[in-house]
Chain A
Amino acid sequence: MEAMFLSRWQFAITTVYHFLFVPVTLGLSVFVALLETCYVRTKKPEWKGACKKLVQFFGALFVINFSMGVVTGIVQEFHFGMNWSEYARFMGDIFGAPLALEALTAFFLESTMLGVWIFGWNRLSEKAHCLTIWLVAIASNLSAFWILVANSFMQHPVGYVLNNGRAEMQDFFALLTNHYVLGEYTHTFFAGWATAGFVVVAVSAWKVLHDEKSRNAFRQPLKGGALFMLIGLLCSAGTGHFHAQYLEQANPMKLAAMEALWEDEDPAPFAVYANINEKTHKNDSELTIPGLFSFMVYNTPNGEVRGMNSLQADYEKQYGNGDYRPDVTGTFWSFRIMVGFAGLMMLLALVTYVLARKEDIHKHSTLLGLIPWLLPIVYIVNSCGWYVAEAGRQPWIVVGLQKTADAVSPNLTGGDVWLTMIGFTVVYLVLAIIALKLAFHFIRKNHVSYEGRN
């Protein structure tokens, strides 16, 4: 029991940590590829030089981030067998395939081409060099697709058959076309744009404000990054909305937990605030907007949305005794933090974009000074999103098929996991501090001058 509890913590710590770097990799690879395309295509000689320097500048930040993503990613691949061997045994037929495909189709391409990109500036033509960063971007985003195919199966199993107590793959294309993947993938893809956009905006804002030599050059990525971030936020909000609508069929328990809806209601209200009581299975107090939840789900202000208590009764009939409600408080508030902060970021991206189009952007010192301090918000938003997705799935590790409690490696002792969990946490903490300091140092010391007009 202790090994299971600690393994969950260890997985949570290491995945959340891993996903600090992943969305930056996903989005920044595309951003750098776009920037290098500008460099290759521009007809203005004075801009070309500055643009190349900017590509290398953001490229270096990308590489620091990428290396952290890689080393923390290997841990995740090993974890499924190390801590969750009974899960891997039960699911290997289905889960192993996308994982192997991720390595074979994406990781090889990504890592090989990144090596070529970093060291190939003088060995390849401009166009060929630009192609390598595009391949890195494509491969990164492809790897996200594969891992989300695997994750989507855990959320909403399709294309399988149960045989000898194991889930066996029956239809590979059903796995790929799982509607759940569509929602998770598009949402994650654009979250990558939003995250990387924010990183670019934060760095550029700092440069515009504090580095006079580079001010003119960084106005361009400030504007471009804000637009990139805005597109990412709008699209991930849209895909998130459709995905939540889809949850009504695919995982109604998670949807109800996100909204702390205990009883079936028609029309269902939206709770702005709820004082959730998980012991009595109701909200002690709440502030609701009538009919809004139904409207969000069905696009009309009425329609029944299932509540957790009646779903619980159904599941007990179907799966036997047990509590099938996830951590409602955590899921409810994570969802609200995600949505609220995403709205704040949209406003910020829009304002930054509008102001960055003007010549005198550096005079808005309050805004520019504030932006880098707000950067942690996007990381909080990403983590909250994953909390909703993963905690909302509990008590299942594979919804309807295997419980988390049955998935842990039977040979592990609590002591084993204590040791590794502390080990990972300490190493990760130290490396995070070092990587951040390096990035700050790099941002401060490297200048890009540009004399031309934007």
Chain B
Amino acid sequence: MELQIVWFILIAVLFIGFFFLEGFDYGVGGLLPFLSPDDKDRSQILRTITPVWDGNEVWMITAGGALFASFPHVYSTMFATFYLALFLMLFALILRGVAFEFRGRRESLGWRRFWEGCIAFGSIVPAILWGVAVTDLIRGLPINEKMIYTGGFLDLLSIYSVVGGLAFLFVFLYHGASYLTIRLSDTSLIERARAMGMKMGRLAVIFFVLCMVLTATNTDLYHSALATIALVLAAAVFVAANVMLAKRNGKASFILSSLAIVFTTVAFFAGLFPRIMVSSLNPAYSLTITNASSSPYTLSVMTVVACIFVPIVLIYQIWAYYLFRKRITAQDAEEEY
């Protein structure tokens, strides 16, 4: 039982890492075509994430793998349930992944514009889909007693899940803009990122609050005190992040928007606990940490492994960020080899 709780928390930690890190690189990717028409500016914007995006994406891959190992029923039901949605996400991520590599390999402006479009598409679509998935999971889906999804693709969409998707999108776009203000060196670009961040921040606040309201009518998240506190805190620090950006304090804005993402994820997992996938047909059909987990043996092996490797991963990823800590200049962006 205790190990199942440990793994529930670990999965939450992996998703926190994923939403925090990919949050800003989805954000940067999504804003790429809208911040500047100039090719060199775009190269600089991209250069803030090119060395790190792949390492960030591994957080998602690890979360998926860890879910498979610790809660195989959840992995099975979830991935089969979201079949077409995941196909769309994979399609987006495929284009995004190769676009980072392909864009700089030709001088032609049309070529570069095309791959920038792919990066934006590949960032915006997954951001929305994760928001939809998260809201769907907590609202509940028609899952039967055999843990099998009985609905279709359209059952994944509701007003609540669309609002959730847009809330995720705008929070990530804000997070990306905020990241750009602390990673770029060109003052006019920073100013543009900040202005865009302000716009996205306002939209994000609207959808976030709307989502909080709908959460009350669609889910039982507020039955959990921890989830309620975390979600309210998330909203509060996100508003504070916006204030900081308005005051041109990029660093504080980025830290606060990171915290907002962390708190939102905590609220989501706390609201779910001890369920991981909620069944809308019958509460007894929900997938929980007890009925969906691996055997105690697998969990204990994986716990040992996680205790050894998660800290090591953190150390070298932090080192990599430290290595590339300097603000990006036009010159940096040109040194594509």
Contacts and interface: CB of A to CB of B under 8 A. Distances in A.
Contacts of A400: none
Q: With a 10 A CB-CB cut-off, give which of A67, A94, A97, A99 has the most chain B CB atoms.
A: A97
Contact of A116 (B64, B69, B323): B323
The B interface is mostly helix, strand or loop, or mixed, namely: helix
Interface stretch (A226-234, A241-249, A431-439): A431-439
B83 A100 contact: no
A66 B83 CA distance: 26
B90 interface: yes
Nearest to B60: A74
Contact of A420 (B76, B84, B105, B323): B84
Given A92-B73, A115-B51, A411 B81 contact: yes
A88 B76 contact: yes
B109 interface: no
What is the size category of the interface that chain A forms with chain B? Answer: 35 or more
Contacts of B61: 74, 77, 103, 107
B160 to A, nearest CB: 22
A116 B148 contact: no
Nearest to B301: A172
A121 B76 contact: no
A63 to B, nearest CB: 6
A188 to B, nearest CB: 20
Contacts of A112: 52, 54-55, 58, 316-317, 320
Contacts of A104: 62, 65-66, 305-306, 309-310, 313
A251 interface: no
Interface string A63-89: 110011011101101101111011011
A123 B93 contact: no
A123 B321 CA distance: 12
Nearest to B296: A168
A70 B53 CA distance: 12
Interface string A171-211: 01000000000000000000000000000000000000000
B298 interface: yes
Contacts of A68: 98
A143 to B, nearest CB: 11
Contacts of A119: 50-51, 324
Contact of B68 (A64, A100, A427): A100
Interface residues of B, number: 66
Contacts of A163: 295
Nearest to A428: B94
Contact of A169 (B65, B105, B298, B324): B298
A114 B54 contact: yes
A97 B79 contact: no
B185 interface: no
A20 interface: no
A71 B52 contact: no
Contact of A71 (B98, B313, B324): B98
Q: With a 10 A CB-CB cut-off, give which of A63, A108, A124, A427 has the most chain B CB atoms.
A: A108
B76 A86 contact: yes
Nearest to A105: B309
Contacts of A427: 91, 94-95
A78 B90 contact: yes
B52 to A, nearest CB: 6
B87 interface: yes
Given A68-B98, A104-B65, A119-B50, A74 B90 contact: yes
Nearest to B149: A411
A448 to B, nearest CB: 13
B58 A107 contact: yes
B105 A92 contact: no
Interface string B207-226: 00000000000000000000
A31 to B, nearest CB: 18
Contact of B54 (A78, A115, A121): A115
A236 interface: no
A93 interface: yes
A77 B62 contact: no
B78 A81 contact: yes
Contacts of A303: none
Given A93-B295, A427-B91, A85 B80 contact: yes
14 contacts: A67-B101, A80-B75, A92-B69, A92-B294, A96-B294, A99-B68, A100-B62, A104-B310, A104-B313, A116-B323, A121-B337, A163-B295, A412-B83, A441-B105
Given A68-B98, A95-B68, 6 more contacts: A70-B54, A92-B68, A99-B68, A169-B301, A411-B150, A427-B94
3 tightest A-B contacts by CB? A92-B72, A81-B79, A96-B69
Interface of B: 50-52, 54-55, 57-58, 61-62, 64-73, 75-84, 86-87, 90-91, 93-95, 97-98, 100-102, 105-106, 146-150, 294-295, 297-298, 301-302, 305-306, 309-310, 313, 316-317, 320, 323-324, 335, 337
